Amino acid sequence: MPAKPTRADKVAQTRERILDAAERLFAEHGLFAVSNRQISETAGQANNSAVGYHFGSKAELVKAVVHRHVDPMEERRAQLLAELGDDPDVRDWVACMVRPTTDHLDSLTGVTWCARLLAQISTDPGQYRVELDRSTVSEHRRRAEEGLRGSLPDLPDAVAHERELMVRNLVLYVCAERERALAEGAPPSRPTWDATAVGLIDAITGIWLAPVTATD
């Protein structure tokens, strides 16, 4: 006979239902268009203050939703860095930036909202920096970024920063569009997440290696 769920088990299950509901609603409607009441109702909670009870604030809820994806992504990045050869090139470093996201999305089952959630957050640059701070300051991400910049020593800092923004948005929106197509039963542009990663790595390597034209 299975053990009766403890109070801690019930709390954990409720938190997961709230996180699932918040992730979907945020991905569909954006962070600021969704109320705590809507999240509680979608999670099947009769108490409309459930979000506050379990997470304290909407900001903490957003962080919890994001970090449950960021953590496995950073674990995957650590594996990729450990697998690098002795003399990685630009493409190798780009793979360490792209594949944590695509590999994580590939590991999820059923209809997913992760990529669309991150794309929604990215529409507000200030919010993006706050909510993804844990990823941005991670040791593994920092090493990958430093390795990539080190492989392009002649690229001006201002151009490098500009290209970082281009690349970040490219990864987010390509992944979000594929996730949307899969959820709606539409044919995605590439058949698998692995193929999507290859296409992104090709394009992003080209962006980093593109010539720099002087402007006034």
CA dihedral in degrees (4, 5, 8, 11; nearest 10)? Answer: -150
175 neighbors 101 (Cβ within 8 angstroms) = yes
1-56: in CATH 3.30.420 = no
Give 132-152 pLDDT, tens digit per residue. Answer: 555 446 889 999 999 999 999
Instruction: Say what the pTM is.
Output: 0.86
Is residue 173 exposed (0-12), middle (13-18) or buried (19+ Cβ within 10 Å)?
Answer: middle
Question: Which one is the CATH code of 62-209: 1.10.357.10, 3.10.20.90, 3.90.1150.10, 3.40.50.300?
Answer: 1.10.357.10
Identical fold, 1-56 and 62-209? no
pLDDT the model gives residue 62:
86
Instruction: Determine the Cα–Cα distance for residues 7 and 11; give it in Å rounded to an integer.
Output: 6
Q: How many CB atoms lie within 10 A of CB 25?
A: 21
**Domain locations along the chain:** 1-56, 62-209
Least confident of 1-10, 19-28, 38-47, 109-118: 1-10
pLDDT the model gives residue 25:
92
Three-state SS at 155: coil
103 neighbors 76 (Cβ within 8 angstroms) = yes
